[in-house]
Amino acid sequence: MVPDALQFFVTGTDTGVGKTQVSCALLSLLKDAGHQPQGFKPYESGCASLKAPSDALAMREAAGSTLPVEAICPHRFKAPLAPGIAAARLGTEPDFRVTLAAWKRLKGGAVVV
């Protein structure tokens, strides 16, 4: 059995390499094992809709989560660029305090980032 405080960090280079699919698979496996996992995608770019970021919503669905999208993905950008570059083009920088506050809402349970 996986402890509830276990946290996974999925990373890869470039877009479209399968990070979201792997994250969703892990979340689904954790849920099927009886845990209440949460997905956390603090930055998502290339969003067709800022209110409905597709990767974050896919992770939420895989986890069976009811958290609001702002808790799962606090920083969203339309430009299909690295989030830091997308933010810079808007003349802003994502506030890490917002990211940290969203992370703390997860309360240390099983999380896939």
Q: Which residue bears the tokens 């698979």?
A: 25
Confidence (pTM): 0.88
| Whether the Cβ atoms of residue 27 and residue 59 lie closer than 8 Å to each other | yes
- In the residue annotation, 41 being an active-site residue is answered as yes
Enclosing domain of residue 44? 18-112
**CA–CA distance, 42 with 97 (Å, rounded to integer):** 11
Residue 4 lies in a domain: no
- The structural domain count of the chain equals 1
Q: Is 68 exposed, middle or buried (0-12, 13-18, 19+ CB in 10 A)?
A: exposed
Residue 10 lies in a domain: no
Residue 5 lies in a domain: no
The pLDDT tens digits of the residues spanning 66-106 come to 999 999 999 999 999 888 899 999 999 999 999 999 998 88
Q: Which residue bears the tokens 């958290």?
A: 67
Of the residues 41, 78, 104, 107, which is catalytic?
41
Residue 44 lies in a domain: yes
The pLDDT tens digits of the residues spanning 13-40 come to 777 788 999 999 999 999 999 999 999 9
